[in-house]
């Protein structure tokens, strides 16, 4: 899962739901993605499916 922007409140919310915050990255190729992906860093998360 991903979300745009470094929002500590949103990161904490996802962590409370069991997601692991993996870090941030500026996307190099945003062709075909919504406009908000072109303006900032993207936060990445993962969650194990059991």
- Of 41, 12, 10, 3, nearest to 24 by C-alpha is 41
Contact 1, 48 (CB under 8 A): no
Give the burial string for 16-28 (b: 16+ CB within 10 Å, else e). eeebeeeebeeee
**Average confidence score pLDDT of the chain:** 90
- pTM: predicted TM-score of the whole model, two decimal places: 0.76
DSSP tag of 19: P
pLDDT at 10: 92
Taking only the tens of pLDDT, the chain with its 50 residues reads 778 888 899 999 999 999 999 999 998 888 998 888 888 899 999 999 98
């Amino acid at each position: 899962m991903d979300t745009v922007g470094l929002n500590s409140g949103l990161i904490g919310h996802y962590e409370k739901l069991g997601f692991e915050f993996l870090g941030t990255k500026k996307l190099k190729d945003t062709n075909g993605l919504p406009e908000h992906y072109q303006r900032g860093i993207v936060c990445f998360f993962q969650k194990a499916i059991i």
